[in-house]
Amino acid sequence: MPTDQPFGSDELDQLGLDEHVRRVVEEIERGEEDDRVQAAEKPAAVQHGAGSGGIERAVGQILTEIGEDPEREGLLRTPERMHKMWLELTCGYRVDPDRLINGAIFDVGYSEMVVIKGIPFYSLCEHHMLPFFGSAAVGYLPRGRVIGLSKIPRIVEMYARRLQVQERMTQQIADFLQTRLNPYGVGVVIEAEHLCLAMRGVQKGGATMVTSSVLGTFRTTKETRDEFMSHLERAVPRV
C-alpha cells in the first residue's frame, strides 16, 4: 500500500533511479531555486539500468504479445526508454514530504481564505495506466499558519506522479494540507480528462471529470464553501 514515506537511498539504488529521475524528485521537493544547494548535497548518480531490468523485460514481452518484433530498429531502445519514463512518471512515491515543505510554514495573523487555482498536472490512472490530466484548485482558511505559495503546486505534483484515481488524489491533497497546517478548513477541486475514457471503451473524447474534497469549515459552513466556489468561477487575471 503506497504511503507518504519516501524510499530510502538504498531502495532508490535498487530501483535503478537514474540521475534524470533524481532531478525530477528533487525539483518537486525543493524547487528550481535550490539548484545550487542540491548540487552540493546530491548523492552520486545511479546509472540507468542498474536495477534488475524487470521493466525492460516486461516491455519486451508486451511487444511480443501484441505481435511486434522487439528486435526491429525502431523498438530496440523502447524498453529502456519506457523504464526511464515509468520511473519519472511515478516518482511521486519517492518524494519526501518533509523535504518538500522544507520549513515553509509560517505563523501569521492572516485568517482570510487562500486559494490557488489553475494548477496543471498529469497523472496515470491505476486501472489502465493511461494518462489523465487537467488542473487543480486548492483553498484553505488559515488558523494562524500559512504554507509557502510554491509548495501547493508541488504537493499536487507529488500525488499526481503516482498511479492514481482522481477521487483519491483529490482527497490526499486535502488531507495533507489539513494535517500539516491544521487550518479551519480545506477545499480541493480537480477537473481532468481521462484518456482511458477517450481512447478505449466508450471513446468519449473531451469529457471531463470533476472531483472535490472539502474538510472542516469548507464542509460544515455553507458561506465558506460558497466563497471558495465563487473564487473558482472568477477568470484568472491576465498580465
> Given 128, 171, 227, 231, which residue is catalytic?
128
> Given 11, 41, 126, 167, which residue is catalytic?
126
Residue 40, pLDDT score:
39
In our burial notation (b when 16+ CB lie closer than 10 A, e otherwise), range 98-111 reads eebbeeeeeeeeee
Contact 177, 138 (CB under 8 A): yes
Residue 4, pLDDT score:
62
> Given 193, 196, 227, 231, which residue is catalytic?
196
> Given 26, 56, 125, 157, which residue is catalytic?
125
Residue 45, pLDDT score:
35
Residue 43, pLDDT score:
39
Is 126 among the catalytic positions? yes
Question: Of 214, 205, 222, which is closest to residue 139 (Cα–Cα)?
Answer: 214
pLDDT by residue for the chain (239 residues), tens only, comes to 455 655 544 454 444 556 778 888 988 988 755 444 444 344 333 333 344 588 999 999 999 999 999 999 999 999 999 999 999 999 999 999 999 999 999 999 988 999 999 999 999 999 999 999 999 999 999 999 999 999 999 999 999 999 999 999 999 999 999 999 999 999 999 999 999 888 877 767 778 999 999 999 999 999 999 999 999 998 766 65
Residue 238, pLDDT score:
64
Q: Which domains does the chain have, with CATH numbers?
A: 9-97 (1.10.286.10), 106-233 (3.30.1130.10)
> Given 164, 166, 172, 178, which residue is catalytic?
166
Residue 22, pLDDT score:
83
Is 128 among the catalytic positions? yes
For residue 75, count other CB atoms closer than 10 A to its CB. 15
Is 194 among the catalytic positions? yes
> Given 11, 61, 127, 167, which residue is catalytic?
127
Q: What is the DSSP string of the chain?
A: ---SPPPPHHHHHHTT--HHHHHHHHHHHH-GGGHHHHHHHPPPPPPTT-S--HHHHHHHHHHHHTT--TTSGGGTTHHHHHHHHHHHHTGGGG--HHHHHTT-EEE-S--S-EEEEEEEEEEEETTT--EEEEEEEEEEE-SSEEE-TTHHHHHHHHHHSSEE-HHHHHHHHHHHHHHHH--SEEEEEEEEEEHHHHSSTT--TT-EEEEEEEEEHHHH-HHHHHHHHHHHHSPPPP-
Could you tell me the three cell numbers for 198? 477517450
